[in-house]
Amino acid sequence: MAVDDDVNSSIQAALIAFERARKLLQKICKPPRTPDTMFLEETVTAARRLERHLAQSVMRINKSYDQGLSDCGKAFIEALADDQAMINRIQSFSLGLMNQVMNLQESLDEPYTLSSESIQVLRSEMDRCCTTILDFFDRLLLELQMEKIRDHPNGIYSIDATKANPQFSPKSGTPRSLSWQSQIGSPVSPMDQPRSPRSPHQFSDGSPSSSRHISASQTEDSRFSVVSGLSESPSNDLMQTTPSQRLIATEEVRRHLEKNERFLARRRQSKVAFQEELQALSSAWSPRPSSDGEGNNDVLGLASTLKLPGFGMNVTDGIEAMKRESTSTSVADGLMLVNESNGLTPSTSTFSAHCVISHDSSFYRYGSFCEGAKLASKGQKFYKVVKRPEGSKLNPVYEEIAEDAPAVQYVGAYIARVTARCLKCSYEADWATFRKNNLCDEYDHLGLRYKQSFLSKCHLKVKSMKDSVYACVFCVDDKKTPEVHDATIFFSTAQLMRHIAMRHKPTHQVDSIKVGYGTHTNQDFDLYFKNQEAQPDPINKLCPYINSLPTAHATQAHHPKSGSKFHPQSPDGRPTLQFAIGAQIAGITFPVEFNGQWCSGYHDCSKGLFPSETMQLNPPSKNDIIINSKSSLTATARWDHNPKDTSAGWLVFPRKEKITHIEYPFADFWCWSGRNPKGKFGFFPKEFVVVDETSNEGGSGMSKDGGERGQRSRRLGGVLSGFQSKLRAKGSSGKGKKTSTR
């Protein structure tokens, strides 16, 4: 039947993408045992969880499809074919899933680019596709069953389409049955037992204080429980009830929706304040269940959000004109999970996820460890003893001498310095210190001591004897940094020692480094810790504030030297923030007094100013970008916004240009979206615009009407950022409200 073939072809496209994803995940879980293809343990773990989650998703699709065939027979097939818009949507999601699989396949050629975040992106696309298919099946089945109930005089209908239409049974092996179900798992037979009716207590008000939740398994079993009488037994208790008694009262539904609206109103005000509210109430919650990848279902709550209008034209590349999709098939369209894992539970650290040292990090941009450092780690000779004259205006001439030569020599009228020079680069160390190789107590106040041999094993290749660049052997051995804003290379010994004292006390064992703890009389250590207590990180107490601000990666190195005309001091006269190319910078702000030319940020446990041209902001998550063509909020550009990378979806505009249709997920969120006069949609930093006093906030599509959104602050960071906001509201509840930002 042609209609049936069209339906199966759209679903087959999704299942083919699922199968390719499954094979790719199996390849990641069992990589070849070679150094170039070894993946991080957390990446392999995420792939294994997603593989199990994929098998469960396909089984649920099989079960839902077989349920429709057995209950409704031919009517189910015809209903599937009639909804061409939904079939096209499934095909679109299948194509997106296939693209993610292909991108992940390309990442296998470069193991450093493959991380658990890539697996999470694939899971999001997979959930979107699976959710769409299941919701499509469930909606059609529910509509068909409700039609049969309305047609029956008593409101009760016993569904047994398997007997009435045996040719539609999925067990008969007809073309209408899903032939792909045996590739991943055997289908689950349709449930013959009657389902209990849905109770009003199964609703959750979506607030953290709610004590009733619905598990995914319970919701799946009771998905169609509003349709009673599914059992063939005539003695069913539901025979004594009417259809109106088996439905939830309108007042009950309205009461829960009003609670959700009030809850989301607080949530939209401030993301940081919302997280703090959840943190304060977390003690009253039940223990957090395992993820779907472990085979268990998360505890669900309902919190309504509103869909965006149907549009998508003239959207800058890199932006999707859509709202976040639900990741659970048990949650209806337009609803989100209250305890969703995407940022609703703040961690103890600003950046809880470890930052993988990828190929574009500073460590690899500078060529990784010098070959001489690798020789030193193996215990082989990596240096030669040379002398060079100091004070001469001529280029120094190096002359190799014996290792037992005096530490100070004379060349003509100049003093010659004797150094240990790397065989592979220009790295040098004083020969007297290098030969003694004693523990240096220069950083005793940090609770650690080191030998010159430790620095020799940590140095990177340099071209000048005046430069010294180091890397942390512990971070490189672990292939990640403890915090995303940590440096991967260091321009001085002081920076390296401070990093180790804050991040690696105590540390894990590295084969080439001898680490000692406590009180020891011998000197047989490369690195020695007097205690195992890490130095306090001054940034940790600013976690909520920094977490609400953007991050950036350095496109240029900013390492100013004393008196350098190429890297002047900051406008306020204080030392600037130093970083290497490829470094990650957190907590970016743009002080108004510097007109967008200088910005402030945190890097390597330090805060400072640096030129804006040396960095590129990292784009926000797609879930945090909202495009609203009906929003009446407008603003005027304060400075030029011309990012180097426009492919990610950044909106380009000059100074004093009008930006319209502005929208944002939270009042204190750092990134807004809008449209420029050319008709292009995109996102931009909030600090680059000034909200027009005449703009009408009530026209925003985030609320049902102009009076429901209430008053919202328009100043970056809210209370935590230290900036004061000013709100001016006029008009009655039927009119929009005006805001002005100082």
What is the average per-residue pLDDT within 8-35? 72
Name the band, by pLDDT with cuts 50, 70 and 90, for residue 636: very high
Residue range 426-478, pLDDT digits in tens: 888 888 778 877 777 667 667 788 888 888 899 998 887 778 899 999 888 88
Q: Long-range contacts for 210-217 (Cβ within 8 Å, ≥24 apart)? A: 210/301, 210/338, 213/286, 213/299, 213/300, 213/301, 214/299, 214/300, 214/301, 214/302, 214/330, 215/297, 215/299, 215/300, 216/297, 216/298, 216/300, 216/328, 216/329, 216/330, 217/297
CB-side exposure of 724: number of CA atoms within 13 Å? 2
Given a cut of 70, is residue 503 above it in pLDDT?
A: yes
Residue reference for tokens 């926000």 = 620
- Chain centroid to CA 696: how far? 32
Q: Which CATH architecture has domain 549-617?
A: Roll (2.30)
pLDDT in tens, 687-729: 899 988 776 544 443 433 333 333 333 333 333 333 333 333 3
| Residue whose tokens read 């009076």 | 707
- C-alpha distance across the termini of the chain, in Å: 66
pLDDT of residue 55: 83
- Note the pLDDT tens digit of each residue in 516-565: 877 665 667 788 787 777 777 767 667 767 777 888 988 888 877 655 55
Report the predicted TM-score, pTM, of the whole model to 2 decimal places.
0.49
Contact 638/596 with Cβ under 8 angstroms? yes
Q: For residue 628, what pLDDT band results from cuts at 50, 70 and 90?
A: confident
- Taking the C-alpha atoms of residue 28 and residue 21, their distance in angstroms, rounded to an integer, is 11
Burial class from Cβ neighbours inside 10 Å (0-12, 13-18, 19+) for residue 96 reads middle
List, for residues 32-71, the tens digit of each pLDDT value. 544 444 456 667 777 888 888 888 888 888 888 888 888 7
pLDDT in tens, 249-308: 777 777 777 777 777 666 666 666 666 666 555 444 444 433 333 333 333 332 333 333
Mean pLDDT estimate for the chain: 67
pLDDT exceeds cutoff 70 at 678: yes
User: If we measure between CA atoms, which residue out of 308, 292, 309 comes closest to residue 300?
Assistant: 292
3 state SS of 390:
strand
Look at residue 344 in the predicted model and tell me its pLDDT.
35
pLDDT, residue 470, reads 92
Mean pLDDT over residues 203-208, rounded?
A: 39
Residue 117 tokens, joined: 């975040």
What pLDDT is stored for residue 635 in this prediction?
Answer: 92
Domain ranges, ordered by start, for the chain: 2-189, 356-372+436-539, 549-617
| Alpha carbon distances (Å) from 1 to 6, 71, 730 | 9, 20, 63
